[in-house]
Every structure is written in structure tokens, then in C-alpha cells.
Amino acid sequence: MQKKTIIVLVVAVLILGGGLFYESTLYTDLDIDMEGYVPIEERGYESTDSLISAMELNEIKDRDDVAVIDFRRADAYAMGHIPGAIQVWRSDVTDPDHEYAGMRISHEGLANWLGENGISNDDTVVVYTSGGGHDAARMWWMMTMLGHEDVRLLDGQLDFWRALDYDIALSSPGRDAVEYEMGEVDESWLVTADDMLAAIDDENINIVDTRNNDEYTGAMQRNPAERAGRIPTPIWIEWTENLNEDNLIKTADELRDIYEAEGVTPDKAAYNYCQSGVRSSHTTFVLSQLLGYEDVANYDGSWIEWSAREDLPIESDQ
């Protein structure tokens, strides 16, 4: 059995000034059985267009029409990243003036950021982070709404890349700025608090809570949420259920078994939420891109907004 192991180096859990909770991982120890590796194209996904393997990225990363985005804090990026990657963090693509913390930047603001960092409309964009990849999935979601045609998640994230002993850079030259042209924005990927409220009593819509069990039951209240609990009538499937222990995404059959067993089926819409629309972006990616569900959307405000609005109902097991 061929295995590759890398060293663990983890930054402690931090609380941002705005109260958002995250774990910044430089990279995670992986014990990989390459003999048991299932290639992306053999996992039975409805489409593989939005997911790329470390092996394929290693082949194309130096092309001029390929832009790689490292969605981690600047200090983690400086400790090692995929050569040529552009660093971005949540504070770069969230709205600092919004009433609720963690809300996405405007479409125009995202287009400006892409252009300033040398990313054009025709580029193939590959986004990665460390750990399971929820931050990368949020960037995918935002760029997909913006209308970018070719944006992909790196399967296994930086951890799998490192485990394969691919090149790591400590610094990378920036790309020359370009004009990113606004295309046709598709906000069908986005749901609001009003949409979620209407979904509570709609048997054709599944509300999917992607947080951990303590958040779901109300045992944990993460800052800056105002109340503990959940949106009424959700189906709880934590986003990490999408992943194997090596951070690779599970096969289509495995994913279908998980979601369909809980009633999340392709004949119903799926409205996903978490604390701030980050973890739920990963579930949005999996359901729409890999399983082919046609009506999938992400609640950007998520629990931060919902818990702050006293006019909105909650459930709790506490």
C-alpha cells in the first residue's frame, strides 16, 4: 500500500474582530492511500467541470489563461502556497459596511477585485484553501453568481497538493491588472431571509442546515449570532459529510446515500445555510455541480442575520 504522510502544522482557532469564527490551517496531516485513490472522472458525478484534481492543476497551472486563488489568511499564504497563486481572505470579499457581519461584497466589488488581481473573464480560475475547502467553495459561489464561466475547486485542497510533494512557493509575482467585464449576474444562486421564511412551510423546498450539531441543537452560540438555535424545519447534514478523511470529496453514490437518506432529493429545491454562508457554499457546490440538483441556493446572511432579527422564528433543543 503506497502512502504519503505530511507534517501537521495548524494555527489555533481564532476569533476575528468582527466575531466570525474560523480555523486557519496552514496544512493538515494526511495519510494518503494512493492505491485507493478514485479519480474525479470515475466518481460518478453529474459533471466534473467545476472540480479539478491536484494532478491536473499541476499540469496546467503555468498557463497564462489559468489563475489560481489561495483563499487563506496572508500569514498562512506566506508560509507556503501553490506557485503563482493569488492570495485572498474573507475581509477582501465581504462588505465591511453591511449591517450583518460576513455578507458578500457586491458583484461590482468582486469584479473589481478580480480585475485588479489580473483575472480576466476568459481565465480558468482554480480556488483552494486548506482543510475541507468551504472558503474556496464560497469564492466559487460568488464567481458563479457573477457569471464567470470556468471556476473550479481544487479537490483535496492545499493539503492533498502538499501530500503529493508538488512545488510550494513562499512568494509569487502578481499578475498585471486587467479590466474584468461585468457579465449577466445570476442571483438564482442566492436566497434571502424572506425566501427562507417562506420555505419553512413549503413542502417543495428543503432547508439544509450545514453547521455542526451543537450549533444545530442550540447548545452552541457562535459570535456574532444574537440567539442560539436553528431556522425551523431544517434537515441537518453537516457540510463535512461531503468529505473523506483525506479531504477529497466523496463519490456520487456516497453523497446520494447521505442526502437522499435525509430527504434532500433532486425533485425539491435545497436552500442551504450555516453561520455566514461559507460552509453552506460547499453543500451548494456539491448538490448543484456534483449531484446535478437543479434548484440549489445559498443563504448569505445565514444564522448571523436570522438570529439577529427578532421577527424571525427559531427552533432549539435547549
Q: Is 305 a catalytic residue?
A: no
Q: What CA–CA distance (Å, rounded) separates 107 from 193?
A: 19
Which of 67, 274, 290, 297 is labelled catalytic?
Answer: 274
Positions marked catalytic: 274
